[in-house]
Structure 1
Amino acid sequence: MTVRKNQAQLTATEKKRFIDALLELKRSGRYDTFVSTHNDFIMADTDSGDRVGHRSPSFLPWHRRFLLQFEQALQAIDPSVTLPYWDWTVDRTPRASLWAPDFLGGSGRSRDGRVMDGPFAASGGRWAVTVRVDGRDYLRRALGANGRQLPTRAEVDSVLAIETYDMAPWNSASDGFRNHLEGWRGANLHNRVHVWVGGHMAAGASPNDPVFWLHHAFIDKLWADWQARHPRSGYLPAAGTPNVVDLTDTMRPWNDVTPADMLDHTRHYTYDTAA
């Protein structure tokens, strides 16, 4: 059984194997297909039209499937690799271990955001950005440069206490757990982290930055925590809702998975209990 670990608990060997698998997936060209898929969906998802990956109830099961597919691609390269998660309520500053040169590398330089150290720096020649938001082909970050702070544990706990999964109008104006976690309402959890990292993480092509996967693994863990806390509160809406993915509707771009199929993550992986 795959066990996803807190990135702060990874050994030096586990970090290296994870990085090596990422670099090989990038070298093969498969990594960029994931970036393109995410970018296509975030650009197409709108509050008033068809929405699948974002601004909608299927935000959480869609990304659960997306991460699982990515993790399986890494495991095809190295079966020992699993997706770590970044608990940004604890590792809250640019000095946290995940930004070290032996793991993800640090923030970008002030004049253009270019990441200068770590395995994804342009100088290493192994991480050219090909799914671009502009003409620049290097990874960019601006950790905390906007002056905002990462979400706190108290803010996370307040969102986990919400009992209803989602509700009309089933978009970024909705109340309920999903939208508060996604970040369009209330404490602004998921979205705020993207903006705090900045650079590519603040755009639709956010998987260009490998921290995307660690961030979303933590979002997925928080959904799993919410499911355990509210066992009688299921996915909504159930059926007959225009423009969104109901419980048993197929989620594009896949033709074989519904939100109902993704409710039980333990069939595929578990999370460790590290804080």
Structure 2
Amino acid sequence: MKLSHDVLEALLLALPYHNDVINVPEPEPCMAQGVMLNLILLLIFCLSAVDSQFPRVCTTEAAFLTKSCCPLWKDKSPCGSLSGRGRCRNWLTFTGKEVLQNDDRLDWPRHYYENTCECHGNFSGFDCGDCKFGLHGEKCERKKEIVRRELRELTFLEQKRLFSYLALAKTTKSRDFVILSTGDRFHRQTYRFVDASLYDVFVWMHYYSMKAILRNSTFDPNKNFAHQGPVFPGWHRLNLLFLERQIQLMTGDEDFAIPYYDWRGEKNCSICTDDLLGTNDAQGVLNPYSHFSFWKAVCSGFNFPDEYCPLADLEQKMERLHRKPGATPYAPNLPSFQDVENILKLSNFDTPPFNETSLLSFRNALEGFLSPDGVTLRRSMHNLVHIYLGGTMSQIPISSNDPIFIFHHSFVDKIFETWITRYDASPTLYPDNSEVGHGPEDCATPYFPCYKNRDLIHKSMTFGYQYSSFPLK
């Protein structure tokens, strides 16, 4: 019994969308059945293991066996090739890189997909059905530049709209992406895909990229694909752009922009009020009348290196958000105005050995392993804010569950943008290095299409946004 693509697509669309979990066995050939119900059940059962900010359409047995993620666009051609949007390209090349056994994120996404969409011109997306950041319209010819403003710069109605959008993102299941859950990274039979809200997909991308790298069957907790190296500012810039764009698409509001929280010189968390991010009690529990008091933290509770988000589908097992601003003696204060000015004096984007020990490195000082003086290795800047806020934010792998993460990182990106402008920086300043996943030509994990790490050193206007100059005293 052979079914056309259109019939298969119709059957899949007919499945109840509230089926939250797709169990992934070891790949086996699927046998067609004569009974429609059995066929539908088999279509669910035969989805195979692939992972990323995974396009749902690419989690089929055919995509896995052919190592191809080139979905059909509206014109019924792969990557919209008949409409000139893109083409399906084989990216398999010999890179000469160290071979890391077992780590599925290496040389992203070639562990799973050798063929993905290469989009032409202004088109983008895993199927070339979207536009590059900052572009809109059917032909992606309409430019729009949004302004990211300080959270307290927003009017009351703008703040309410922001929080309603975040609530919608937290409760709306993503129709395009699924997330990976495993009981054991060494055993593929434990892999399964789980439906998640749009916001939780965003959270999972950070969590997944931060998991320890697996080097020849040994975990290295000091290495990951989003931190402790040159990739840090660009990876988080892309992470915010993903969420911002998905909320624009979800709400139809092309003007939506992620605000920032300017924490320079603050004596306490001034946005931790019940009108904004929420107050908390001595145990760190958020006020039940605040916006995010009942949010659950996806991938919380179990932070073992050999698992990926094992309880992603069990909300009752997830922790609620917690926050304890200023409660730890290790971070009694937030960074100062002078701290920010000092790191902006560091003209080197990054320096050898391109990790948390790099000196005179703007990236390492911004990330916060290096003092703003450029020579003293101690917690500062980005890291210091995470520690100061405490609770969920201090658990870095799952920290993006707390929406204060996006406002904090938006300000980190503003500092990055100030540095880019001051030194007229370009992709040529991204250093050659041997850090796994941090090379200039490496694709940022786990994004579709491929965004090379070096290409994220551009002025923000390249991506369709800029920052306000909201002054704080």
- The TM-score normalised by the length of structure 1 is 0.89
> How far has the Cα of 1:230 moved from its partner?
1.4
- Identify, as 1 or 2, the structure richer in helix: 1
Once the two structures are TM-superposed, the CA of residue 113 in structure 1 deviates from its matched residue by 1.3
Quote how far apart the aligned CAs of 1:51 are: 3.5
Aligned to 1:121: 293
Question: Which shows bigger deviation, 127-136 or 51-60?
Answer: 127-136
Within the alignment, does 1:169 sit opposite 2:362 as a pair?
A: no
**Greater CA radius of gyration, 1 or 2?**
2
Taking the TM superposition and a 5 Å limit, the aligned residue runs for 1:45-64 are 51-64=224-237
Aligned to 1:15: 159
**2:243 is the alignment partner of 1:70:** yes
Contact kept, 8 Å, 2:441 with 2:452, in 1: the verdict is yes
* Structure showing the higher strand proportion among its residues: 2
Question: Kindly, what percent of the aligned residue pairs are identical?
Answer: 30
Question: Where do 1:65-104 residues align within 5 Å?
Answer: 65-78=238-251, 79=253, 80-94=255-269, 96=270, 98-104=271-277
Displacement after TM superposition at 1:49 (Å): 7.0
Q: For residue 44 of structure 1, report the CA deviation from its aligned partner.
A: 2.3
Offset at residue 259 of structure 1 (A): 2.3
Residue 160 of structure 1: aligned partner: 344
Equivalent residue, structure 1, for 2:450 = 256
Which residue of 1 is the match for residue 467 of structure 2? 271
Local SS of the residue matching 2:319: coil
How many residue pairs get aligned? The number is 267
Residue-by-residue CA offset, 1:101-132 (whole Å, 9 max, x unaligned): 122112x221x31111411112xxxx233321
**Is the CA contact (8 Å cut-off) linking 1:167 and 1:236 kept in structure 2?**
no
| Equivalent position to 2:203, from 15, 35, 57 | 35
Structure-2 separation of matches of 1:168 and 1:226: 19
Give the RMSD, CA atoms, in angstroms. Answer: 2.1
Compared CA separation, residues 233 and 129, structure 1 to 2 (3 A): closer
> Is the Cα–Cα contact under 8 Å of residues 38 and 207 in structure 1 kept in the other structure?
yes
Going from structure 1 to structure 2, the CA distance change for 1:171 and 1:136 (only over 3 Å counts) comes to: same
CA shift, 1:141, in A, is 0.2
| CA offset digits 1:44-84 (Å, max 9, x no partner) | 26988753210010101100100000111221233132100
Question: Per-residue deviation at 1:92?
Answer: 4.1
The structure-2 alpha-carbon separation of the partners of 1:162 and 1:226, relative to structure 1 and needing over 3 Å to count, comes to same
Name 1:200's counterpart in structure 2.
392
Contact 1:25/1:74 (8 A) holds in 2: yes
1:195-244 Cα deviation digits (max 9, x unpaired): 11100000110011100000000000000001111125766554363424
Give the Cα–Cα distance (whole angstroms) in 2 for the partners of residues 49 and 236 of structure 1: 24
Tell me what 2:407 maps to. 214
Structure 2 CA distance for partners of 1:101 and 1:177, relative to 1, 3 Å: same
User: Aligned partner of 1:159: which letter?
Assistant: I
Distance 1:235 1:206, change over 3 A: farther
Question: What residue is the counterpart of 1:130 in the other structure?
Answer: 298
Aligned equivalent of 1:184: 369
Structure 1: gaps (5+ residues): none
Which of 254-263 and 48-57 deviates more?
48-57
Shift of 1:258: 1.1
Identify which of 321, 325, 344 aligns with 1:143: 325
**Which blocks of at least 5 consecutive residues in structure 2 are unaligned?**
1-144, 173-196, 214-218, 303-316, 373-379
Query: AA paired with 2:389?
Result: V
